[in-house]
Amino acid sequence: GDKAFAQFLTDEIKEEKKIQKHKSLPKISGGWELEVHGTEAKLVRKIAGEKITVTFNINNSIPPSDEEETQEEQKPDEQEPELTSTPNFVVEVIKDDTKQTLVLDCHYPEDEIGQEGEEESDIFTIREVSFQPTGESEWKDTNYTLNTDSLDWALYDHLMDFLADRGVDNTFADELIELSTALEHQEYIKFLEDLKSFVKCQ
Q: Is residue 66 part of a domain?
A: no
Structural domain total, the chain: 1
- Coil, strand or helix at 127: strand
Residue-wise pLDDT tens digits, 57-116: 999 998 876 654 444 444 444 555 678 999 999 999 999 888 889 999 999 997 655 544
With b for 16 or more beta-carbon neighbours within 10 A and e for fewer, the 128-161 pattern comes to ebbbbeeeeeeeeeeeebbebeeeeeeeeeebbe
Q: Is residue 190 part of a domain?
A: yes
pLDDT, averaged across the chain: 86
**E strand map for the chain:** 33-37, 40-47, 50-57, 89-95, 100-107, 125-133, 145-147
What residues are paired with 52 via a beta bridge? 45, 93
Q: Are 6 and 199 in contact (CB under 8 A)?
A: yes
127: containing domain: 1-60+83-111+120-200
Model pLDDT, residue 202 = 63
- Residues in the chain with pLDDT < 70? 65-81, 111-120, 136-137, 139-140, 202
CATH code of the domain in which 26 resides: 3.10.280.10
Q: Is residue 125 part of a domain?
A: yes
